[in-house]
Chains A and B, each alone.
Chain A
């Protein structure tokens, strides 16, 4: 008996294992996980490749090659007829590049009468020397007749060569820098007269057809104007609208209409806002084209939904007990909102606003339509003057053919990204520090 029982027990405890495909299923599980990891890695890899490619192309734009030359401000070149006392235009229109050219020839030991050698000097110095020397003379006319050391910008091609971006093994006739110029460049380099300096011009110059004298000055001012306008308009209007919708509006058709509108506006393509700006602000109301003011208005309309949605979330997160307490102590509804709810919701509102501003700062398409793609060389004194914006300037440089513009463009992208990064990090820090969990 016992034997038999033992036998049956043995067979019962050891059933033949049913094949439920565990191996296959676990393999599928591992594969699925791998796909997930791969998907994330693809996204991150793309981010890394993009940032590295922009950084590697753009970081050199923060340095600019200059040639330090002892310029003799000769009276007979600047003001041959000695008329500057009566006609101030003389100092403005004088042939300053000739001075720079002469100083360079002297420095290199070239005889100014040696015509073929002098033509090879062409392009060595930037044409921006005209403006540089003019500014020196106009600000201090007493400099005429004396000699002074001035750091003259090198030409765009020499700048590239100096930074080692031009392949010098290519035959001479297929590159933009001649062997003679390279020889001079190396000579000046060993003498210490030619060196790279931090490129302040990138931040201060306006539009120019020459890469070495073009910069982001106008674009930064234009973008700053627009950000101020967006902040001044979108923040109060957005907060007011959210307060109404969240605290005062009765549920009904009208409120529903507003909400549907806000949700849809948040998803309308940005270029449509540009069309609106062009048709209404520029064409119908006759506001100036290319002006930062119109750009600011368009960006305000575009940013409003973002701010409203963030503000409403922040207001809704304040617990109802605070409202009841304020009302119970005799505050009016308006006092309750403005003295109790709004301060508590402020960090959330601020975060939403900063994120909205960051989006507005990077927006390009609507600005193209209202004519901010303009060649603006002078700083806009008011928001009503023609201006460009940071991303629009990047777009304009992207359409230029010269390689030095690609360098500037990448540099501008780095600056734009730094601004955006700073804004986003501020938003994150604000959220971490001040956001309360109720």
Chain B
């Protein structure tokens, strides 16, 4: 019995319990004694009593039994597996077991002993299996299927039994003065608390998953070579075979990341800041109402669109322009730091401007009026009073923007190039950490080669880098906000 079906049955039992408990509660209310809770709370309490423990049992049981079956599968593998590795043999056995499920019952009861005989039977059912499936796997797979069926049946019976027991208990608890509402609300509060811990769980998940794989990577490549290596040449991982040694130097990627982010900030900060100043201090309300949504539109465009624009339009345009200027060979490559930085800068304009708009409008009116009253022009007020007062906040905003620039992926994947160069020339291509994460992880991959694991080392570098910038930025922004509140 599939767990989905069991789940459906449990929910049906829960609904029945809800209806019965509610009716019982309504019937008991004869108007003489004031009931503690309204009838539907009794219904919900019965529903929760029957569904929650049963679902928990089902979850624990199915995870536990799959772990048990897996470990038994590993134990049953002979020393000589006949294929490259034991994990491969286990996964072949698993897909064989899945294939056997498609066969008719009488075929399963009389399984042929060799894979050569079995294969046509499976092929007739539309199951294609790897040709290096070994004969000894057939009884193991059949047994694994039987074991899974047996465990599944026990789990299903137990779950449904628990649901029924919960339903009866819940219905029997219905009394006029029973505190059904308090019970339901206490559970709800736990649910709310649980939902809010998901943010913590996500962070823990991010850190642990990446840390685990990174340590795995550092077992093969020394950390010093990674953090201080100046050559990025990971080679290819050959599936199954011992992976060839590559060089995993972070420096060229980090340099490219920072360079492109720097160019992007050169574009985004002056333009974004000036437009924020204009919008906050000069623009008439009508202009503001029209221009602000347009700039927000710029922020709502997905980064892949910016990347495509850089790849298809801006990159070739700059290349041809430089060719025309130089009269012959172009000195700007189609994929270059300049192209990626420019487009990323434009993407960041609305980020800078909306962050600094908030900060500029938070400067108290009195400071503005004081400066204007002393005879300063508006621009002098802005330059000498408002911007210095807002400076910490603006620095925070720039840091936040920089962390966005460092973590940006699609623009650089499409516009920055894949060659890990170390250069100072903005017209050449450089690559970034994010590009390499994408490159190392797209396509078929094996989880135990350094070529794959390095992506997690890059990822945790990126995570730590942006995390530090964000924390510092948030700290500065919060500190600044308190100053004027």
Contacts and interface: CB of A to CB of B under 8 A. Distances in A.
Interface of A: 25-26, 28-29, 31-33, 35-40, 42-44, 46-47, 50, 53-54, 57, 236-238, 240-245, 248-249, 257-258, 261-265, 267-276, 278-280, 283-284, 301, 304-305, 308, 332-334, 358, 361-365, 368-369, 371, 373, 391, 394-395, 398, 406, 409-410, 413, 416-417, 420, 424, 428
Q: How would you classify the secondary structure of chain B's contact residues: helix, strand, loop or mixed?
A: helix
Contacts of A276: 202, 205-206, 209-210
Given A240-B192, A308-B199, A369-B437, 11 more contacts: A50-B306, A53-B313, A248-B189, A269-B407, A272-B407, A275-B456, A284-B209, A304-B199, A334-B189, A395-B413, A417-B301
B142 interface: no
Given A36-B277, A420-B302, A275 B196 contact: no
B466 interface: yes
A365 B274 CA distance: 31
A351 to B, nearest CB: 13
A28 B195 contact: no
B484 interface: no
Contact of A39 (B274, B379, B442, B474): B274
A269 B271 contact: no
4 tightest Cβ-Cβ pairs between the two chains A and B: A269-B407, A362-B302, A36-B278, A240-B195
Contacts of B308: 54, 394, 398, 409-410, 413
B200 A258 contact: yes
Contacts of A267: 400, 403-404, 466, 470
Most buried by B among A365, A420, A428: A365
A43 B271 contact: yes
Contacts of B238: none
A29 B305 contact: no
B202 A244 contact: no
A279 B467 contact: no
Given A258-B196, A391-B304, A394-B308, A271 B377 contact: no
B209 A373 contact: no
A264 B192 contact: no
Contacts of B413: 365, 395
Interface in B293-315: 293-295, 297-298, 300-309, 311-313
Most buried by A among B213, B275, B377, B455: B275
A47 B294 contact: yes
B304 A258 contact: no
A268 B463 contact: yes
A279 B192 contact: no
Most buried by A among B188, B195, B203: B195
Contact of A275 (B192, B311, B455): B455
Contact of A29 (B206, B273, B379): B379
Nearest to A372: B442
Most buried by A among B196, B203, B455, B462: B196
Contacts of A248: 189, 192-193
Interface string B278-298: 110010000000010111011
B438 interface: yes
Contact of B377 (A25, A240, A249, A413): A25
Nearest to A241: B196
Contact of B203 (A261, A269, A416): A261
B438 A365 contact: yes
B369 interface: no
A332 B406 contact: no
Given A32-B382, A271-B459, A364 B213 contact: no
A394 B209 CA distance: 30
Contact of B198 (A264, A304, A428): A304
A187 to B, nearest CB: 34
Contacts of B441: 274-275, 278, 368-369
B278 A33 contact: yes
A42 B274 CA distance: 11
B377 A28 contact: yes
8 contacts: A54-B305, A248-B193, A269-B407, A269-B466, A283-B447, A362-B302, A362-B303, A410-B308
Interface in B417-459: 434, 437-438, 441-442, 447, 455-456, 459
A271 B476 CA distance: 26
Contact of A362 (B192, B277, B304): B304
B312 A57 contact: yes
B478 to A, nearest CB: 10
Interface string B469-483: 011001000000000
A265 B199 contact: yes
A46 B346 contact: yes
A53 B309 CA distance: 8
B270 interface: yes
B21 to A, nearest CB: 19
A395 B301 CA distance: 15
A28 B348 CA distance: 28
Contacts of A304: 198-199, 202
B440 to A, nearest CB: 10
Given A248-B189, A271-B434, A373-B442, A40 B407 contact: no
A249 B203 CA distance: 20
A298 to B, nearest CB: 10
A268 B474 CA distance: 13
Contact of B196 (A28, A244, A265): A244
A424 B300 contact: yes
A260 B60 CA distance: 31
B282 A241 contact: no
Nearest to B410: A364
Contacts of A54: 305, 308-309
Contact of A420 (B206, B272, B300): B300
A33 B437 contact: no
B302 A42 contact: no
Contact of A279 (B195, B273, B277, B456): B456
